Chains A and B, each alone.
Chain A
Amino acid sequence: MNLYVLLKMVPDTVEELNVAADGKSLDSEFLRFKLSEPDDHALEQALILKDKHGGKVTVVALDAPEVDDVLFTALAKGADRAVKIPINQASLGTAASAKVLTEFFAAAGALTPDSLLLPGSQAIDDLEGELAPLLAAALKLPYIGVVCGVKGADGKVTVMKEFAGGLRAEFEVTLPAVLGIQSAEKPPRYVPVAKVRAVMKSAQIEEAALTPPERPIQLDLERMYKPEAAGRAQMIEGATEEIADKLVEVLAKNSVI
């Protein structure tokens, strides 16, 4: 199989997020980026498929802070090829990102009959829609999202999609196709830092020159802001012992002890 994993960097929400002076974007000064979590699972799912059925894993990313580390880490984990598109991802909405990636896949030879495109199912900043269906629509490929397992077969894959309440269903998809990966069959593998460093010395990240989109943001975004703490919790403060005592009182008032 010709496996493509699309990697996207997103702000780490463990850090505080602030809105920039323009009121329409995040203040990039203190932003820390990390690989979008479903994308990490998409990479793992691709590596699992390669381990089982052979094939080639190519990771593709737009330019973003720390993206080189992420691409080298993917190579160290077992990806065969890493491609960076030197267009700044932070300035693009998902629709524009999809346009750039469509151009990448529309190039001769990129899409083969056994190609499987694996973006994450969704990202935390997908205001304009998700990459997987946008790509599938533009490339006229079949799509299914919220995928939590993929089994390979001849020219087809069997995928598991999550619904709700723990209900899942199996679907058959003909290749080439786009699968939005929610989670891999196993947690993403660990790779030692020493191995990543070694790969940094020996491997190359290819660059693919593509056209920056004319409209980076499609929507008429009026403002971004932090939510007002309208229904803010009653905060319990003090030393650990004190907090525990107060929580015991809360539990007693709720008649559960």
Chain B
Amino acid sequence: MANPILVLAEQLRGEISDITFEMLGAGRKLADASGAPLYAALLGSEAAPLAAKLGMADKVFVADNPQLNLAPADAVTAALKAVIDQSQAGLVLLGCTNVSLGIGSILAVQTGLPMVNFCRAAKADGSAILLTSQLFGGKILSDVKLADGRGIVCIYPGAFPADAGKSDKTPPVEKLDLPVEAPRVTFKQYLEPETGDVDVTKQNILVGVGRGIQSQDNVELAEDLAQALGGAVCASRPVIDQGWLPLSRQVGKSGMTVKPRVYFALGISGAPEHWEGMQNSQCIIAVNTDPKAPIFDGSHFGVVGDVLELLPVLTDKIKARKG
């Protein structure tokens, strides 16, 4: 029997994150192909009560320790290493998320296992595992082989279906009493999301702007379009980092996840971090000067062109149409 596969379950404030189910689904497929069992690790006192939700796993290892809350890298890595030693897991799946960032790299150093980041696809090939990762902001893919099926793999959110990782079964639970050293990084307090004037998660129409909007003054052109459509403006990280729009308007990995009826991606290249936050929009319209921009690969409609030129014309036509 092949080495077990271990998923590090993720939760935030008592709710299992989708990435957990996505990894359990991906892990189940790999486990079934190789005949290996699928385990999950649920670490922290906030996480411990959630074991029953991980029915897709053959066993859930639970460490009910408050020092593991919010996944401090040192402590979580030490706990994971203990689970790996105990379970003989050979393949570890982690989320390519802000919560888990860094854990895989430290675990790789401590276990000597290879680490594969940014993974979007995985399949078993005999005892080997073939992984496809997305690099350079989504412009290049790379295939990596784990010849003996052993390694640490960080999975992109949204790359695998979450439904495949859900099950009504109640998984067996093994409680771990791990010695956890006092973390060298200590949690002080949550800083709640800024409440902006607009809640972008509740909009039917979002006009998303990226680096291609070029300057703060040009954001107004997007505001005009949003106003004509009765929607709101949001942005990818570079625009927020420049201070052109408030943090409450950020869509993507660190920001909001949105599902509007129509999402305009204006001058947004489509880096995976942004894509993660808007991929489930019903209709995505992308405008970009770069015909090779990754945003066109997942959008419904695309325009290769200058947003600054198109925006005023489009806004006028919408106003005329609406009367």
Contacts and interface: CB of A to CB of B under 8 A. Distances in A.
Given A13-B136, A173-B185, A247 B301 contact: yes
Contacts of A223: 142-143
SS of A interface (majority): mixed
Contact of B297 (A95, A124, A177, A230): A230
Nearest to A226: B140
B241 A244 contact: no
Interface in B260-315: 261-262, 269, 271, 282-286, 290, 292, 294, 296-305, 309-310, 313-314
Interface string B53-77: 0000000000000000010111000
A170 B185 CA distance: 10
SS of B interface (majority): mixed
A214 to B, nearest CB: 15
Contacts of B104: 129, 133
Contacts of A170: 187-191
Contacts of B1: none
Contacts of A125: 135-136
B232 interface: no
Contacts of A248: 314, 317-318, 321
Interface residues of B, number: 97
B126 interface: no
A202 interface: no
A251 B229 contact: yes
Listed residue (B114, B138, B147) with the most chain A CB atoms within 10 angstroms of its CB: B114
Interface string A176-202: 010010110011000000000000000
Interface in A105-146: 121-122, 124-130, 132-134, 136-138, 142-146
> What are the 9 tightest A-B residue pairs by CB atom distance, in nearest-first order?
A166-B193, A233-B302, A129-B105, A142-B184, A133-B102, A137-B109, A133-B105, A233-B299, A162-B254
